[in-house]
């Protein structure tokens, strides 16, 4: 299979029901919690992507048995202190900052020096944001000069609880501290700007000693030392971040209708729905239910004739952080100027995504003005692309690839989009779902 895709035509009208793969954030968290549970945990619909497989490989390195059976995964947890550490061992988080950052919290008490590495993209990302609070627990870290990977962690047997104020709205930083707090003597107090709360929900579901007080703009979280974790059997719901590509494709196409089954609609993740509704897109939730504290629903979307521009409130940023690239495509077709601000974090993702958003729009012929934390997009409801566009992202960002595919299928033109293999990170099934939509 070539490592690029050529798209020459817009997607024809469709009326379909689809399933997308399991939620990446929940899949990684399930692997980590199951690996320190006392006993055998099972998961169905676990996302089988490189990020989740990297998590499985790390826990296997620590001596935990993981097996894939027909339709489910099994993890044989050896208890909260069941990891076996070896001197100078190296663990590899691949492309996943979630894994790289959370695992450091989980091994805060490792009695050996452990090296953490990652791929080219992860090796450019900031790790001080987690090593700085985690070192207060008593662990020692050595990072590269620019605070990136590779790094080493030397844990401590005497982990002391801390107080931590998380101001970025980063669930990765919050969760790394929460996992370390489970090993600390005393109570850890966290004040965290709102961000996705799957770690909190999983801990509550496991009856672990956690208390969360929700305020308007932040949460107060208290965690006491954990002695034992019971097994955690989980059917992982579908990922709204993967669904986002099909939500936008449908919103931008002609007379199409789509239902995406069984998607996690945790309020800390549905920023894209709120934003697109404000832009006049027809989206609704059906068959709502609650599963292990997480909200789940089928998402129904219809093509939209006219799209309103948006001055996007920055309080929605954390809940849509992985979706802005595709949201910008909707703004490209809006009837006026859209403005997105407070987005400095976007340039700190798998690749500088604010710059990439601006680049893709410019290639499409959409005027836009980007600063280091904002973008103004001059929408054109009658946009038709008649030229050749090539997209090559040297950091092989999965979401840059998938966004470019949605742009090509929505606006026309002749596109050559490199690095198809990048989808293996989060959504290996992406191109298969596209083929399903094309079938008459
Ligand atoms: C994630 C948190 C987000 C998000 C990432 C997954 C998680 O990162 O961008 O894809 O699973 O906790 P930040 O918490 O750094 O914003």
Active site residues: 322
Looking at the fold, whether 16 and 28 belong to one and the same domain comes out as: no
For ligand 1, the distance from its centroid to the CA atom of residue 386, given in whole angstroms, is 36
φ, ψ of residue 90 in degrees (nearest 5) = -115, 130
In this prediction, residues 231-260 reach a mean pLDDT of 98
* Both tokens assigned to 162: 């801390």
Q: Domain boundary residue among 229, 255, 287?
A: 229
Looking at the fold, whether 8 and 29 belong to one and the same domain comes out as: no
| Nearest-atom index, ligand 1, CA of 29 | 11
Q: Establish whether residue 170 lines the binding site of ligand 1, counting it when its CB lies within 6 angstroms of any ligand atom.
A: yes
Count of the separate structural domains present in the chain: 2
φ, ψ of residue 246 in degrees (nearest 5) = -85, -30
Q: Domain boundary residue among 192, 212, 229?
A: 229
> Is residue 339 very low, low, confident or very high in pLDDT (cuts 50, 70, 90)?
very high
| Nearest-atom index, ligand 1, CA of 168 | 16
In this prediction, residues 161-170 reach a mean pLDDT of 98
**pLDDT value of position 304:** 83
**pLDDT value of position 157:** 86
Q: Establish whether residue 241 lines the binding site of ligand 1, counting it when its CB lies within 6 angstroms of any ligand atom.
A: no
**pLDDT value of position 170:** 98
Relative to beta strand 113-117, strand 151-154 is antiparallel
Q: Establish whether residue 200 lines the binding site of ligand 1, counting it when its CB lies within 6 angstroms of any ligand atom.
A: no
Residue 305 pLDDT > 90: no
Looking at the fold, whether 12 and 116 belong to one and the same domain comes out as: no
Q: CA-to-CA distance for 321 and 317, rounded, in angstroms?
A: 6
Q: Establish whether residue 171 lines the binding site of ligand 1, counting it when its CB lies within 6 angstroms of any ligand atom.
A: yes
Beta bridge partners of 160: 185
In this prediction, residues 379-403 reach a mean pLDDT of 97
For ligand 1, the distance from its centroid to the CA atom of residue 19, given in whole angstroms, is 23
For ligand 1, the distance from its centroid to the CA atom of residue 169, given in whole angstroms, is 9
Residues 6+ apart with CB under 8 A from 147: 126, 127, 128, 131
* Both tokens assigned to 214: 């929700």
> Is residue 72 very low, low, confident or very high in pLDDT (cuts 50, 70, 90)?
very high
Collapsing DSSP to helix, strand or coil, 18 comes out as strand
Q: Establish whether residue 399 lines the binding site of ligand 1, counting it when its CB lies within 6 angstroms of any ligand atom.
A: no
Residue-wise pLDDT for 348-364, tens only, equals: 999 999 999 999 999 99
- Of 88 and 17, the structure prediction assigns the larger pLDDT to 17
Q: CA-to-CA distance for 405 and 399, rounded, in angstroms?
A: 10
Q: Establish whether residue 322 lines the binding site of ligand 1, counting it when its CB lies within 6 angstroms of any ligand atom.
A: yes
| Nearest-atom index, ligand 1, CA of 25 | 11
In 143-293 the beta strands, taken as DSSP E runs, fall at 151-154, 163-166, 187-193, 210-214, 218-224, 234-235, 257-264, 282-291
Looking at the fold, whether 120 and 177 belong to one and the same domain comes out as: yes
For ligand 1, the distance from its centroid to the CA atom of residue 175, given in whole angstroms, is 10
Looking at the fold, whether 291 and 313 belong to one and the same domain comes out as: yes
Q: CA-to-CA distance for 292 and 146, rounded, in angstroms?
A: 40
Looking at the fold, whether 189 and 163 belong to one and the same domain comes out as: yes
Looking at the fold, whether 98 and 146 belong to one and the same domain comes out as: yes
**pLDDT value of position 2:** 82
| DSSP per position, 295-345 | EEEEEEEE--SS----EE-GGGTGGGTTTHHHHHHHHHTSSSEEEE-S-GG
Collapsing DSSP to helix, strand or coil, 171 comes out as helix
In this prediction, residues 360-371 reach a mean pLDDT of 98
Looking at the fold, whether 279 and 362 belong to one and the same domain comes out as: yes
Q: Domain boundary residue among 229, 262, 283?
A: 229
Looking at the fold, whether 279 and 373 belong to one and the same domain comes out as: yes
> Is residue 1 very low, low, confident or very high in pLDDT (cuts 50, 70, 90)?
low
Looking at the fold, whether 244 and 214 belong to one and the same domain comes out as: no
Looking at the fold, whether 407 and 275 belong to one and the same domain comes out as: yes
For ligand 1, the distance from its centroid to the CA atom of residue 434, given in whole angstroms, is 25
Q: At 313, which CATH number?
A: 3.65.10.10
For ligand 1, the distance from its centroid to the CA atom of residue 438, given in whole angstroms, is 31
Q: Establish whether residue 172 lines the binding site of ligand 1, counting it when its CB lies within 6 angstroms of any ligand atom.
A: yes
Residue 440 pLDDT > 90: no
Q: Establish whether residue 55 lines the binding site of ligand 1, counting it when its CB lies within 6 angstroms of any ligand atom.
A: no
Looking at the fold, whether 14 and 79 belong to one and the same domain comes out as: no
| Nearest-atom index, ligand 1, CA of 169 | 16
Q: What percent of the chain has pLDDT over 70?
A: 100
- Cβ-contact 52, 66 below 8 angstroms: no
Domain boundaries, position 150: 24-229
Residue to mutate, 97, 106, 294, ligand 1, most ligand atoms under 8 Å from C-beta: 97
Q: Establish whether residue 23 lines the binding site of ligand 1, counting it when its CB lies within 6 angstroms of any ligand atom.
A: no
For ligand 1, the distance from its centroid to the CA atom of residue 26, given in whole angstroms, is 11
Mean model confidence pLDDT for the chain: 97
Find the helix or strand (DSSP H, E) in which 6 lies: strand 4-7
Q: CA-to-CA distance for 438 and 128, rounded, in angstroms?
A: 45
Residue with tokens 């450019």: 124
* Both tokens assigned to 279: 């832009």
Relative to beta strand 140-142, strand 113-117 is unpaired
Residue 282 pLDDT > 70: yes
For residue 150, whether the previous peptide bond is cis, meaning omega lies within 30 degrees of 0, is yes
């Amino acid at each position: 299979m070539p490592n690029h895709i050529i798209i020459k035509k817009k997607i024809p009208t469709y009326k379909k029901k689809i399933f997308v793969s399991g939620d990446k954030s929940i899949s990684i968290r399930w692997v980590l919690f199951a690996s320190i549970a006392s006993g055998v945990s099972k998961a169905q619909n676990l996302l089988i992507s490189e990020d989740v497989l990297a998590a499985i490989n790390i826990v296997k390195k620590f001596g935990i048995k993981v097996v894939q059976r027909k339709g489910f995964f099994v993890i044989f947890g050896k208890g909260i202190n069941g990891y076996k550490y070896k001197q100078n061992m190296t663990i590899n988080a691949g492309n996943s900052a979630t894994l790289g950052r959370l695992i450091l919290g989980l091994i805060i008490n490792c009695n050996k020096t452990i090296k953490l590495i990652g791929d080219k993209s992860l090796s450019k990302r900031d790790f001080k944001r987690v090593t700085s609070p985690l070192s207060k627990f008593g662990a020692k870290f050595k990072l590269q000069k620019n605070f990136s990977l590779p790094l080493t962690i030397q844990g401590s047997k005497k982990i002391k609880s801390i107080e931590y104020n998380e101001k970025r709205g980063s669930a990765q930083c919050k969760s790394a501290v929460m996992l370390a707090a489970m090993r600390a003597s005393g109570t850890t107090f966290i004040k965290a700007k709102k961000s996705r709360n799957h770690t909190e929900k999983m801990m509550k579901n496991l009856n672990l000693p956690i208390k969360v007080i929700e305020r308007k703009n932040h949460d107060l979280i208290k965690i006491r030392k954990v002695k034992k974790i019971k097994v955690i059997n989980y059917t992982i719901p579908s990922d709204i971040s993967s669904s986002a590509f099909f939500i936008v494709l449908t919103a931008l196409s002609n007379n199409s209708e789509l239902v995406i089954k069984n998607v996690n609609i945790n309020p800390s993740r549905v920023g894209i729905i709120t934003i697109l509704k404000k832009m006049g897109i027809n989206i609704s939730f059906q068959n709502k239910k609650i599963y292990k504290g997480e909200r789940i629903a089928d998402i129904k979307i219809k093509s939209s004739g006219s799209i309103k521009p948006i001055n996007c409130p920055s309080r929605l940023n954390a809940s849509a952080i992985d979706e802005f690239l595709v949201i910008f495509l909707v703004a490209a077709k809006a009837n006026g100027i859209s403005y997105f601000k407070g987005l400095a974090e976007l340039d700190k993702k798998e690749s500088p995504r604010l710059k990439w958003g601006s680049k893709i729009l410019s290639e499409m012929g959409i005027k836009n003005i980007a600063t280091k934390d904002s973008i103004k997009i001059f929408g054109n409801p009658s946009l038709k692309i008649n030229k050749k566009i090539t997209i090559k992202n040297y950091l092989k960002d999965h979401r840059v690839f998938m966004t470019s595919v949605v742009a090509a299928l929505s606006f026309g033109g002749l596109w050559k989009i490199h690095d198809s293999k990048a989808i293996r990170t989060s959504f290996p099934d992406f191109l298969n779902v596209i083929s399903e939509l094309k079938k008459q």
